[in-house]
Structure 1
Amino acid sequence: MNDRQDSTCDSLEPGDDQRLLSALVDGELSAPERAVVEAQLAADPEAARRVAHYRAQKTALQALFPKPAAVPSLFLQRRTPWWRLGVSALACLLAGVALGLGLGTLSLGVDKPAFAQRADMAYAVYAPEFSHPVEVGADEQAQLVSWLSRRLNRPLAVPSLQEYGYTLIGGRLLPGEAGPAAQFMYQNKMGDRVTLYVTVFAKHELTFGTVQGDGRRTIYWASRGMGYALSGRGNEASLRMIAVDTCNALGGHADSWSG
């Protein structure tokens, strides 16, 4: 057993374990190591917050340096702590501006698709629901994904948002513009909710943007014949970071949003 595997047996405290959290964000852990670290994150909110912070910085750097080879490695592989690197702060600032432009005003000349409006309304209707926010709970996740995949006639996946403090509570089937749509709902410990709306989207041109209304925001994008929309309330920058991470996790290319 190597040193990294040994360290996963300890609590996630600052020091060598920060290297593990960085390796998790960069996808450098083996499957067993990743499983151990993710299990510890679920029981360690402070470590989970650090991972979310690392992911946010990585996303910011990717926005500035779209080509993977051009992204400088600033994640705890150097002896100098990343938060002391002035270029890191500058990267976050500039990337925030870039993402703001990309998601707020730039949409490559494409009007907001109907599925984005439907996703926004579905969030407004179901997110406040206390008794029946979902049709199928997260305790039946495999059945939920299988059912919705059959109805949409597409293989669906449910991305994890644990790094951002959100846990899947379930999902439901919804009517889409030209067929069925799926909504997955997540909730954090404070009771805040975000939803991921998924539907078939025939247009294949690059589409992304934001729908806003009544204190809520829906960030939408299209990828590989599918339309996606992440809806929530609160901090817009945080929601955008979650949307970028979700897009990448589902096989999209969120770096193009700022390009």
Structure 2
Amino acid sequence: MNDDDLERERAGAPADAHSGLAGHDLAALGAFVDGELAPDEQSALLARLGEDPAAAQRIAAYRAQKAALQSLCNHAGNARENDGEHDADALGATPYVVLRRRDPWWRRAGLAAAWAIVGAGLATAATAFVPAWMARGDGHAGALFASEGERFARRADVAYAVYSPEVRHPVEVGAADEAHLVAWLSRRLGKPLQIPSLGEYGYALVGGRLLPGAAGPAAQFMYQNDAGERLTLYVSVSGRDRDAVHLLRDGGHRTFYWSTDSMGYALSGPATEGRLRTIAYDVCGALGGTSAQW
């Protein structure tokens, strides 16, 4: 007896009204398929099948259903054995199948629509929290969508924005220990570093610090003029031998960035510094760059 027959029987209707078979007939047919009838009952039922097309059709349907269920159980059992999860004591000698009623199509459609609305709402809410510089689609696209060079420039730009306003601790090692500063950061980056002089532009070295880079350490050198304006030179090992100089504008500050001899450099300063391009040009040359990079 399948799940449709069971539902009809629970509802008090004949188990198979369209075929005229009563509940006790269906039970006998099920017992026949399972080999549970006594010999005399089995002989009587076999004689009846020749004269009762509905009963014969039901027998065929039960046998097809039983064969399908056995095939499914055998397949599941083999899969568990292949995964090393078969437990004969836990499963028992006879496989079993749990029959579930399917929800009506309108209920499934309603649930799908509800989840679609929830997903759209979450996406809208998440968009509200995305920073503007990440959401922009212009030439200043956010770090998640930028080139490797621009991501490098943004790290330098953030480091400038964080440490240039610092009053008491703008650097880790001061300019008085410049030799130690250069040796320490060179050892950490695995490359010999040098600190360009910006004295002709009125900027003196304040000192430097170690920072995290994209895939390793980075260094930041800070300069300051008599007016209190600061510039920073951000340095890290680069996977590119030589790149052209580019400019990143972000708010009230600007960053010129490039790579030379597998080292990345970024000079950041306030937008009010009209000479920043000239200073960056000289710094690039002092660090091994060429005019062809501009």
| TM-score interval (norm. to shorter) | 0.5 to 0.7
Aligned residue number for residue 242 of structure 1: 279
Displacement after TM superposition at 1:236 (Å): 5.4
Structure 1: segments with no counterpart, 5+ residues: 1-103
- Of 265, 268, 275, the residue aligned with 1:231 is 268
Aligned residue number for residue 78 of structure 1: none
- Give SS of 2:240's match: coil
Q: Does 1:256 align with 2:272?
A: no
Aligned residue number for residue 143 of structure 1: 180
**Larger radius of gyration between Structure 1 and Structure 2:** 2
Report 1:1-259 matches (<5 A): 112-235=149-272, 237-253=274-290, 255-258=291-294
Distance 1:136 1:202 in 2: 27
Letter in 1 for 2:250: G
8 A contact 1:217–1:236 mirrored in 2: no
Percent identity over the alignment is 58
Aligned residue number for residue 25 of structure 1: none
- Give SS of 1:156's match: coil
Q: Deviations over 1:56-91 (max 9, x none)?
A: xxxxxxxxxxxxxxxxxxxxxxxxxxxxxxxxxxxx
Aligned residue number for residue 31 of structure 1: none
8 A contact 1:204–1:225 mirrored in 2: yes
Displacement after TM superposition at 1:207 (Å): 3.4
8 A contact 2:171–2:206 mirrored in 1: yes
Distance 1:148 1:131 in 2: 21
Displacement after TM superposition at 1:197 (Å): 0.4
Displacement after TM superposition at 1:214 (Å): 1.5
Q: TM-score, normalised by structure 1?
A: 0.55
- Give SS of 2:167's match: coil
Aligned residue number for residue 98 of structure 1: none
Structure 1 residues 140 and 233: alpha-carbon distance in aligned structure 2, compared to 1, 3 A threshold: same
Displacement after TM superposition at 1:237 (Å): 4.1
Q: Deviations over 1:172-212 (max 9, x none)?
A: 00000010000000000000000000000012242321111
Q: TM-score, normalised by structure 2?
A: 0.49
Letter in 2 for 1:142: A
Letter in 2 for 1:146: A
How many aligned positions are there? 151
Distance 2:148 2:185 in 1: 27
- Give SS of 2:243's match: coil
Distance 2:187 2:181 in 1: 10
Distance 1:137 1:198 in 2: 17
Structure 1 residues 135 and 211: alpha-carbon distance in aligned structure 2, compared to 1, 3 A threshold: same
Displacement after TM superposition at 1:114 (Å): 1.9
Q: Deviations over 1:219-254 (max 9, x none)?
A: 00110100000000034540010000001011111x
Letter in 1 for 2:165: P
- Give SS of 1:218's match: strand
Letter in 1 for 2:185: L
Distance 2:194 2:282 in 1: 14
Structure 2: segments with no counterpart, 5+ residues: 1-138, 141-146
Moved over 6 A (4+): none
Structure 1 residues 206 and 187: alpha-carbon distance in aligned structure 2, compared to 1, 3 A threshold: same
